[in-house]
Amino acid sequence: MLSDRNHISWDDLKVDEKKMQGFGTKSDNVYRVIVVDKNGNGHSRTVQGAIDMVPQHNTKRVKIYILPGIYREKIFIPSTKPYISLIGNQNQTSDTVISWNNKASDRGSDGIELGTYHSASVAIESDYFCATGITFENTVVADPTGRGMQAVALRIAGDKAVFYKVRILGTQDTLLDDVGSHYFVQSYIQGSVDFIFGRARSLYEDCVLQSTASFGGAIAAHHRDLPQENTGFSFVNCIVRGTGDVYLGRAWGDYSRIIYSYCYFEKIITSSGWSDWNQPSRQKTVEFVEYRCRGAGADMRGRVPWMKPFSYDQIRPYISTEFIDGQQWLRL
């Protein structure tokens, strides 16, 4: 059954607080706005409890309005629950926090190590998801010398997702931008090593990428195995700042694609800029691009010779929402 809303609009990221007066709205016997309040004055005290209220194979937008607080819980949104919005206060993103503390080497109830994939504080597998005014957090502080310290704050594996004015906080492997087409706007992403990684096709626009590395680190690691895969990470008008001596990207896959356009780099970028993941053959096939970036970290003189020099015509497909086929599903 097709939804009547096969797109995401600004309205999907808003609730009318004045009209709600602490209560959600209901239609077709299903809540269209579900209020989460850890103090008990909403429909659910927990975020997962609200997600559980959304019917399976939902075909209409359900907004989950999360009142300020720290919600210490591990969240999972299955593929059978599309059209969910998580909404906090866009002006105070730090007030509404979903926080957990698993790392890859932790063991699950079956005694088996979780691994990076299952360490996520929040995992989203549904399509047409969007979030605003929320902090997604994994509180594990990665020891650079430790094993199994990967600790994901957010894993997004659904198709067609928007994150507007969110914060994603962690250290190693903060954001698993797994699969699908995603749009991150005016958001803050923090970590130390490969803190944006995955196989997705995603546009990051007007975001802050905050490195917390004490020495070496990396912003992004993209996995792309074949030249015909229409995937990659494109960062447009982003700020890269913080600490450490970090790579802009690492070649996690033979055809890894990472592109920075019109970005500002503080002096934290290692002079070579990019890593081939100790696989020299990947130098011939990766697409690592810096286009008209600025700041002390954008000095190109020490860069690896195998990064791609793009013209404007070559960069143009990557610098707007057309890169993620936004004309088909975004109404922003």
Q: Which residue has the higher pLDDT, 16 or 213?
A: 213
Residue 139 token pair? 């509180």
- State the pLDDT at residue 18: 64
pLDDT digits (tens, 9 = 90+) for 38-59: 999 999 999 999 999 999 999 9
E strands of 79-134, at which residues? Answer: 84-87, 96-100, 122-124, 130-132
**Sign for the pseudo-dihedral over CA of 17, 22, 26, 30:** positive
- The one catalytic residue in 194, 245, 299, 313 is 194
Contact yes or no for 130/8 (Cβ under 8 A): yes
Please tell me the distance from the alpha carbon of residue 24 to that of residue 39, in angstroms, as a whole number: 16
Q: Which pairs with CB-CB distance under 8 Å and at least 24 residues apart come from 324-330?
A: 324/181, 324/182, 324/183, 324/201, 324/202, 324/203, 325/181, 326/183, 326/203, 328/7, 329/6, 329/7, 329/8, 329/128, 329/160, 329/181, 330/7, 330/8, 330/162, 330/183
- State the pLDDT at residue 211: 98
pLDDT digits (tens, 9 = 90+) for 126-183: 999 999 999 999 999 877 778 899 999 999 999 999 999 999 999 999 999 999 999 9
- State the pLDDT at residue 104: 95
Active site residue 16: no
Please tell me the distance from the alpha carbon of residue 330 to that of residue 332, in angstroms, as a whole number: 6
Q: Is the pLDDT of residue 5 over 90?
A: no
- State the pLDDT at residue 142: 77
Question: Where does the pLDDT of residue 184 fall: very low under 50, low under 70, confident under 90, or very high at 90 and above?
Answer: very high
pTM: 0.96
Please tell me the distance from the alpha carbon of residue 101 to that of residue 133, in angstroms, as a whole number: 21
Domains of the chain: 90-324 (2.160.20.10)
Share of the chain above pLDDT 70, in %: 95
Arithmetic mean of pLDDT over the chain? 94
Please tell me the distance from the alpha carbon of residue 289 to that of residue 20, in angstroms, as a whole number: 47
